[in-house]
Amino acid sequence: MIRVIFVDDHAMVRAGYRASLATVADIEVVGEAGTGEDGVKLAREVKPQVVLMDLHLPGISGLEAAARIHQHDPDCRVIALTGHNESPFPRKFIEAGAAGYVTKDCPVEELLQAIRTVAAGGRFISQHIAQAMALDAMNGTKSSPFELLTKREIEIVVALAQGEDMPTIGKRLHVTAKTIASHKYNVFKKLEVDSDVALTHLAIQHGLVEPSRKKPR
């Protein structure tokens, strides 16, 4: 039996996943969480074999949550389940230790295949995503300017674009606000932006955050 948890901040989405897997004989849903922090905590408590992880989450992003889960338990397999199939996320999730990447609109059969494949120790990336990644590599192109950023820098971009200030980000990531400011300077330089507004616009344009995620300061 493959033990699975869902991490997604939409209760209806989680309910949909649970309903889709309810009658599958070899898969057991053992928990669900609505934030990245709760997902990390739940994974440590119930020790699932597979975590289905959304990208856009309150607090720490799915990218950071995936990295923390993998760091704590390398045998726990994370599948990114997201509405975005463009770079940099497939590659960045895999660099963070994820074993799979599937879009939310995939057929149930593909989701089941992904769960079974990663639970058996393999990797699974939806075919159209894998093709896009391969073409990027062959052409030597970067389909998103965010390919230039490190995982930590992307985490900070997401937080800034969601409206968090630097002291809050630093506290959550256990670093000083000065360190966050240094990362922010490097991000602005790499992306060639000169304001938080421009950064947020670029992040929304490339799918790092959804417009509705912007928090008032």
CA dist., res. 76 & res. 199, Å (int): 34
> Which of the two residues, 3 and 217, has the higher pLDDT score?
3
Query: Which candidate, 97, 73, 98, 102, places its Cα nearest to that of 85?
Result: 102
pLDDT(158) > 70: yes
Q: CATH classification of 2-137, choosing from 3.40.1280.10, 3.40.50.300, 1.10.1040.10, 3.40.50.2300?
A: 3.40.50.2300
> Which of the two residues, 195 and 134, has the higher pLDDT score?
195
The pLDDT score that the predictor gives to residue 21 is 92
The pLDDT score that the predictor gives to residue 159 is 85
| CA dihedral sign, ordered 51, 82, 98, 22 | positive
Q: Please, are residues 14 and 8 in contact by the beta-carbon 8 Å criterion?
A: yes
- Tell me the pLDDT of the chain averaged across its residues: 84
Q: Please, are residues 20 and 108 in contact by the beta-carbon 8 Å criterion?
A: yes
Q: Where in the chain is the domain with CATH 1.10.10.10?
A: 145-213
Q: How confident is the model at residue 140 (pLDDT cuts 50, 70, 90)?
A: low
Which residues have a Cβ under 8 Å from the Cβ of 23 and sit 6 or more positions away?
Answer: none
Which pLDDT tens digit goes with each residue over 67-84? 899 889 999 999 988 775
Average pLDDT over residues 188-214: 81
Decide yes or no: CATH 1.10.10.10 for domain 145-213: yes
Residue 52 tokens, joined: 């289905």
CA dist., res. 26 & res. 119, Å (int): 11
Which residues have a Cβ under 8 Å from the Cβ of 171 and sit 6 or more positions away?
Answer: none
Query: Which candidate, 43, 48, 33, places its Cα nearest to that of 68?
Result: 43
Q: Please, are residues 156 and 179 in contact by the beta-carbon 8 Å criterion?
A: no
The pLDDT score that the predictor gives to residue 202 is 86
Q: How confident is the model at residue 216 (pLDDT cuts 50, 70, 90)?
A: very low
Q: Please, are residues 169 and 180 in contact by the beta-carbon 8 Å criterion?
A: yes
Which pLDDT tens digit goes with each residue over 46-65? 999 999 998 888 878 888 89
The pLDDT score that the predictor gives to residue 92 is 73
The pLDDT score that the predictor gives to residue 143 is 62
pLDDT(114) > 90: yes
Which pLDDT tens digit goes with each residue over 22-55? 899 999 999 999 999 999 999 999 999 999 998 8
pTM of the model: 0.71
Q: Where in the chain is the domain with CATH 3.40.50.2300?
A: 2-137
